Amino acid sequence: MDTKGRVLSDKCIADEVPFGIPESWAWARFSEVIGIAARLVDPLKYQDFPHIAPDNIQKGTGKLLFCHSVKADEVKSANHLFSAGQILYSKIRPALRKAVIAPFDGLCSADMYPLNTKLQPEYVLTVLLSNFFTEETLKGDTRVKMPKTNQKSLNVILVPVPPLAEQRRIVERVNELMPLVEEYGELEDAREELDAALPGRLRKSVLQLAVQGGLVPQDPADEPAGVLLERIRGQRRQLVAEGEMKAPKGGESIIFAGSDGRRYEKRVDARGRESEPVCIEDEIPFEIPESWEWARLESVTTYIQRGKSPKYSTVEKYPVIAQKCNQWSGFSVEKARFIDPATVSKYADERILKDGDLLWNSTGLGTLGRMAVYDSAKNRYGWAVADSHVTVIRTREDWLDHRFAFAYFAGPSVQSEIEDQASGSTKQKELAQETVRNYLIPVPPLAEQRRIVYEVDWLFKILV
């Protein structure tokens, strides 16, 4: 239809109409009822003007979060002048649904259209924020990362137009319902956040249950952990005598329950001399089954040692495992640096990593306490050592299953207190080697350790 009201063409658009509307309503093209009033201005004339950009508008609500005044030299020439009462509509990333009715005169960024309308502005804002309008603006836009609508595509979008009085009633009803919608949105966001966090929380719960003896039932037929620890102490004495390992400083630790039900610790040196028992009840983090025992980590391992910081090389042959190689999801050699081949001979055989070694991040913030299990199958170089920020913990599988130890140190009882037990400043924390050696660890019967590990693996597969 031209300006004189003459019909120039008559075309069926039934396939364009997105949904049915009441008989008293009508469909109109965007350009018929909404006009884009973008006008470039010289910023030198508008110093200290309020400035609005898409980032100033809350997505999907039509609310202005904040704005700031700008100096002339801060405003680009591509900014538009707008007036109070105009609708500001973001033409970038329409899915974010950013639009607002301007509460004052000002400038808006080139990423926004100032709009005039013959309809109720609040009703138009409701249309612009609707899913239907967003879907229409995205049609045909092939830019995935930064979709952007333009004036030509906007002008042909069909807009439902109710009678003016009904527009006002719609706006009133929307205003009544929006607080409920926002409340629902907050609850939905909280639910999604909970859903995202739930697998991680469940994993922590599984680990804590596992190391407290609640994941699998105890079997009276299992050899008690006390017998296991006595055998370990005998084998450790033999290894010390053969020079295969060093004697523990201060003697071998023995933890036992006193007649008063509290835990005590004594030390026994190489000659069998015992120290006076000391009550350590305040160190015990939680209760364990009767068939289990508490032990110092050093008492059930063969090797606890911080790595060394070597002379590095660009020759990719001898990798050094650093903190970034240790992720809760597993060990990776891909981020490792490499030792100068000329210095490799200086590394004692005991420093070369072995399958099942626990690699514990011992310095830093954020990565402190993170642990991985060394797996030679993931190391195509066939050789690796740890750097000085990683403590290597090695045990024998007939003493302490390394997978059970990993479950304990990955669990909340250790991780929640890891920084409190570390020394250093707020910028750099460190788990001293002596602290690691003296960590208390619950020791179940060996058969139960393996049942626990099997159950944890099975449950984690379900929680993926």
**What is the value of pTM for the model shown?**
0.64
Q: Could you give the count of Cα atoms lying within 13 Å of 55 in the half-sphere of its Cβ?
A: 4
CB-based contacts of 56, cutoff 8 Å, min separation 6: 64, 65, 66, 67
Same fold? 26-162, 205-463: yes
> How does pLDDT run along the chain (464 residues), one tens digit per residue?
555 555 556 678 888 888 899 999 999 999 999 998 877 776 667 777 888 989 999 988 889 998 888 765 665 556 888 989 999 999 888 888 999 999 998 888 888 899 999 899 999 999 999 989 988 888 856 566 678 888 888 999 999 999 999 999 999 998 888 888 778 777 777 777 766 666 777 888 889 999 999 999 999 999 999 999 999 999 999 999 998 888 898 899 999 999 999 999 999 988 889 999 999 999 999 999 999 999 999 999 999 999 988 889 999 999 999 999 988 888 889 989 999 898 888 888 899 999 999 999 998 877 899 999 999 999 999 899 999 999 999 999 999 999 999 999 999 988 888 888 888 776 778 889 999 999 999 999 999 999 999 999 998 888 76
Strand 371-373 to 303-306 pairing: unpaired
Domain 205-463 has CATH 2.70.70.10: no
CA distance 27 to 161: 6
Residue boundaries of the structural domains of the chain: 26-162, 205-463
Q: For helices 164-211 and 402-410, what crossing angle results, to 10°?
A: 140
| Domain range 26-162, its CATH number among 3.40.50.720, 3.90.220.20, 3.40.50.800, 3.10.20.30 | 3.90.220.20
On the 0-12 / 13-18 / 19+ scale of CB atoms within 10 A, 224 is: middle
Q: CB-based contacts of 393: which residues, under 8 Å, 6+ apart?
A: 297, 301, 303, 304, 357, 358, 359, 360, 405, 436
Amino acid at position 109, single letter = S
